[in-house]
Chains A and B, each alone.
Chain A
Amino acid sequence: LTEDERLDEMFRRALAESRHPPEPPLDEMWAQVERRAFDHAPVRSVMFARTSLWATPALAAAALVLGVALGRYVIPRVDNTSIKVSQVATSTSDAAEPVHHETVAGTSDTASAVPSVIAATTQTPDAGKPDSRQRSRTSSARLAARFEDLGGGTETSRYLAQTGALLASLPSGHTVVESDTAIAVRAEELLTQTHLLLDSQAGSDPTLHRLLEDLELVLAQVARLRTPRNGSDLQLIHQALAVRDVIPRVHDASVEASIND
Chain B
Amino acid sequence: VSEAHLITRVLAGDRLAGRELYDMHAPRVFRLAYRMTRDEEMARECTQDTFVRAFARLSKFRREAALATWLHRIAVSTVLEAQRSMRRRAARFADLDEVKDRVVEGTEHDFELIARLEQAVEELPEIYRTALILHDLEGYTHAEIADVLSIPEGTSKTRVSQARAKLRESLVTLRD
Interface size class of A (residues with CB under 8 A): 20 to 34
One digit per residue, 1 when the CB lies within 8 angstroms of any chain A CB and 0 when it does not, for chain B 76-115 equals: 0000000000000000000000010011100111000110
Chain B minimum-CB-distance residue to A28: B44
The reply to whether A18 and B48 form a contact with Cβ atoms under 8 Å apart is no
- What are 16 A-to-B residue pairs whose CB atoms are below 8 Å? A7-B168, A8-B168, A11-B171, A14-B114, A14-B117, A18-B114, A19-B34, A19-B38, A19-B133, A26-B26, A34-B15, A34-B18, A37-B56, A38-B15, A44-B56, A48-B56
- A73: CB under 8 A from chain B? no
The reply to whether A4 and B168 form a contact with Cβ atoms under 8 Å apart is yes
Taking a contact as CB atoms closer than 8 A, the residue among A13, A18, A25, A48 that contacts B44 in the complex is A25
The reply to whether A15 and B34 form a contact with Cβ atoms under 8 Å apart is no
Known interface pairs A8-B168, A24-B26, A30-B22; 17 further A-B residue pairs with C-beta atoms within 8 A, sorted by A's residue number: A3-B175, A7-B171, A8-B167, A13-B108, A14-B109, A14-B114, A15-B118, A18-B117, A21-B31, A24-B47, A28-B44, A29-B44, A32-B48, A38-B18, A38-B55, A41-B13, A48-B56
Within 8 A of B (CB), among A15-73: 15-19, 21-22, 24-26, 28-30, 32-34, 36-38, 41, 44, 48
- Give the shortest distance, in Å, between B122 (CB) and chain A (any CB): 11
Q: Which residues in B have their C-beta under 8 angstroms from that of A15? A: 117-118, 121, 136-137
- A137: CB under 8 A from chain B? no
Chain B minimum-CB-distance residue to A22: B40
- B43: CB under 8 A from chain A? yes
Taking a contact as CB atoms closer than 8 A, the residue among B34, B103, B109 that contacts A13 in the complex is B109
- A226: CB under 8 A from chain B? no
Interchain CA distance A48-B52 in the complex, whole Å: 14
Majority-rule SS of B interface residues: helix
Q: Which residues in B have their C-beta under 8 angstroms from that of A36? A: 48, 52
The reply to whether B52 and A30 form a contact with Cβ atoms under 8 Å apart is no
Chain A minimum-CB-distance residue to B44: A29
- Give the shortest distance, in Å, between A35 (CB) and chain B (any CB): 9
- A12: CB under 8 A from chain B? yes
- Give the shortest distance, in Å, between B105 (CB) and chain A (any CB): 12
- Give the shortest distance, in Å, between A207 (CB) and chain B (any CB): 22
Within 8 A of A (CB), among B30-44: 30-31, 34-35, 38, 40, 43-44
- Give the shortest distance, in Å, between A42 (CB) and chain B (any CB): 8
Q: When A and B form their complex, what is the total count of cross-chain residue pairs whose Cβ atoms lie within 8 Å?
A: 102
Majority-rule SS of A interface residues: helix
Interchain CA distance A16-B55 in the complex, whole Å: 30
Q: Which 9 A-B pairs have the closest CB atoms?
A: A21-B34, A24-B30, A37-B55, A14-B109, A33-B51, A12-B136, A21-B31, A36-B52, A32-B48
Q: Which residues in B have their C-beta under 8 angstroms from that of A30? A: 19, 22, 26
Q: Which residues in A have their C-beta under 8 angstroms from that of B167? A: 8, 11
Q: Which residues in A have their C-beta under 8 angstroms from that of B35? A: 19, 21
Contact A7/B175 with A15-B136, A21-B43 known, Cβ cut-off 8 Å: yes
Interchain CA distance A16-B51 in the complex, whole Å: 25
Within 8 A of A (CB), among B4-23: 13, 15, 18-19, 22-23
Interchain CA distance A7-B115 in the complex, whole Å: 16
Chain A minimum-CB-distance residue to B51: A33
The reply to whether B47 and A14 form a contact with Cβ atoms under 8 Å apart is no
Taking a contact as CB atoms closer than 8 A, the residue among A14, A16, A37, A44 that contacts B18 in the complex is A37
The reply to whether A26 and B51 form a contact with Cβ atoms under 8 Å apart is no
- B27: CB under 8 A from chain A? yes
Q: Which residues in A have their C-beta under 8 angstroms from that of B168? A: 4, 7-8, 11
Q: Which residues in B have their C-beta under 8 angstroms from that of A18? A: 38, 99, 102-103, 114, 117-118
- Give the shortest distance, in Å, between A12 (CB) and chain B (any CB): 5
Chain A minimum-CB-distance residue to B174: A7
Chain A minimum-CB-distance residue to B172: A7
Chain A minimum-CB-distance residue to B15: A38
Taking a contact as CB atoms closer than 8 A, the residue among A17, A19, A26 that contacts B27 in the complex is A26
